[in-house]
Amino acid sequence: RCADDFKGPLTVRIVGANGVLAEGTVKGVGADWKKFEVTLKGKNTDPNAKLVVTAASAGTLWLDMVSLIPAETFKNHGLRLDLAQMIANMNPKFVRFPGGCVVEGDPVIENAVRWKKSIGPVEERVGHWDLWGYWSNEGLGYHEFLQFCEDIKAEPMYVINCGMSHKEERAQKETPGIDVQEFIQDALDAIEYANGPVDSKWGALRAKAGHPKPFKMKFMEIGNENGGKIYHERYAKFREAIMAKYPDMRLIACDWRGGTPQEELLDIVDEHYYSDPGFFMRETGKYDKYDRKRHKVYVGEYAVTKSCGKGNLIAGVGEAAFMTGMERNSDIVEMASYAPLFVNPAWEAWNPNAIVFDASRTYGTPSYYVQTMFGNNKPDVILPLELVSAATTQQTLSGGIGVGSWGTQTEYKDIQVTGPDGSTLFQSSEIKDMSAWKTDKGQWEVKDGLLKQANADTPALALLDGKSFGNCTLTLKARKTGGSEGFLVLFQSTNLNDRTWWNIGGWENKQSGLEGGDLPDEKKNISIETGRWYDLKVEMDGQRVKCSVDGKIIHDVSRSASKSLFAVAGRKKDTNEVIVKVVNGGAIPQDASLELTGIKSLASTGKAIVLTSEKSTDENSFAEPTKVAPKEEKLEGVSATMQHTFPPYSVTVLRLQEKK
């Protein structure tokens, strides 16, 4: 709408680096709010183009909601074709929405997603401030989510806020001014919108939105990453109300931490895991000895987030190893979902993500292709499999050194690296400014011989640029000048994303631990005082790492020779196929013998789908979108007892045909 002094018209353009790519005109803007639409046909492509609205003359104009959408969308339901197709190509059996932490509202409950504000005309949706630092207009709302799930033949799983914001959940306090019954009613109404008849209040709104038939939603998660006494009480109330009205719903609880587990209330419990590739390889047997009488498990979020670059091959390999364990125990692990799904690099707030896109392009990370390989090669029944390979691998350990902090202001000095023979390989006294350091977040400076970090970023990191060390000893002095935690000491780090660090005074300034680099998960109690200088030492010798504070050894750990071959097998009934998934997480090829139990006879030829690359750190990009992508090859000499060589850092799917 406009004031009387505005005469119009408006010109709407898409403008690229080399000029106008598309143009249209809007006429008739008046004193009342009115919706206008204009179709723009592009002359060319520019992923960095901008949408530009200009006026022909001076005046006062109000724009309430502006949206640029492709004329052709996925199934004609509003989603960008290539992005929606990327999800469809994963062949998912369900979609979790609206996600994780965005559910709760950060830091306050007013920022939480409320589904009732995400239906109806898009221009009338209130929207909310997003946890990841931008405003969401809820263009992809509750109805669009249900419709998309139907379009790709996936079950919808809605995550409902349980009346807790991030701020209060972390403090384990009640959220002020909240009536939990309001949120329970939200859950009941959400189910009615999805499943209710057209003559019900919310079913009628669904019909009005163009979908009179019920969506038949079966799954709802109560809260996200909530826990403790308050959550236990609330979950019980949600469950009682929902089961009374919708007894066939499957309810998912957050990770049941703290208090006494009420197994009789639990159907499925959501567990989340983020770590380095080694963690996921070590945890492949996590569910092998799980108590089959307990609740089922939904691994709602998992991903390699350390030593992964922007999403590299070894990250996908580590996840695939863990996935073989989940699939092998699918009587317990009913569902699993990689997270997060999408990122536009210009708005990145989390690393890595499965699918990367800009205004006109998209590509999948190796982790994305792992998901497609598992999603499109699902068996119906798990088969016993014996996989024998004598080889174990140890990687050559080397990398850069650095320092950092987590929500804390710090100072470092006398940083020195010495070789096994005592020779000096580096000393910080030679550095007079920040040019020698690569940084990520933080307010860093070199002053009076000190390397200082002055803000509360999480994490703030400084890595010595262009230097890599093998066996060596790192010594330094560290002082906390303010903030909530202690020190981060980086070592054997490839870059700021592929990092290993010693976290001293982490976990709310209560513990010390080593993170990344396939090191054992060991925690020791320690806290860091403000204003005091500490002497820190990290000794690296082969697979051994020893860490000391003021001459006292805090950690003395070794990486054990790690298993690098992981597998699971199953039968697909409708095609009479045996599907074998094998992951080689090591740096050398693995010659292995496979023995399948319960198979009478197999055709002598089959096919192998292989994901691998030249280096474990290889990544995809807009320039090379399929540098690391599955390739299919013919398989010869197939039998129930067969030999096969699996490439280093690889994920392999074997599809073998059973003889009738």
Collapsed DSSP state (helix, strand, coil) of residue 599: coil
In this structure, what token pair is assigned to residue 187? 């859950």
pLDDT of residue 116: 97
pLDDT of residue 496: 84
pLDDT of residue 258: 60
- Residues 443 and 453: beta-carbon distance below 8 Å: yes
DSSP string, 291-308: -TTS-EEEEEEEEE-SS-
At 195, which helix (H) or strand (E)?
helix 180-195
The torsion angles phi and psi of 599, rounded to 5 degrees, stand at -110, 125
CB count, 10 Å around CB of 384? Answer: 10
Whole-prediction pTM: 0.81
pLDDT of residue 259: 57
How many helices, marked H, and strands, marked E, lie in the chain? 10, 39
pLDDT of residue 200: 98
Residues of the chain with pLDDT under 70: 170-171, 257-261, 390-396, 560-562
CB count, 10 Å around CB of 153? Answer: 10
Q: Which of 295, 226, 228, 294 is nearest to 259 (CA)?
A: 228
pLDDT of residue 88: 98
pLDDT of residue 394: 54
Residue identified by tokens 């999480």 is 458
Per-residue pLDDT tens over the stretch 379-411: 999 999 988 875 555 555 789 999 999 999 999
**Which residues touch 446 (CB under 8 Å, ≥6 apart)?**
431, 432, 433, 434, 452
Per-residue pLDDT tens over the stretch 527-578: 999 999 999 999 999 889 999 999 999 999 987 656 789 999 999 999 999 9
Taking the C-alpha atoms of residue 493 and residue 399, their distance in angstroms, rounded to an integer, is: 5
- Residues 362 and 356: beta-carbon distance below 8 Å: yes
Catalytic sites, residue numbers:
225
42, 67, 270, 401, 648 from 36: Cα distances, Å:
19, 11, 44, 57, 57
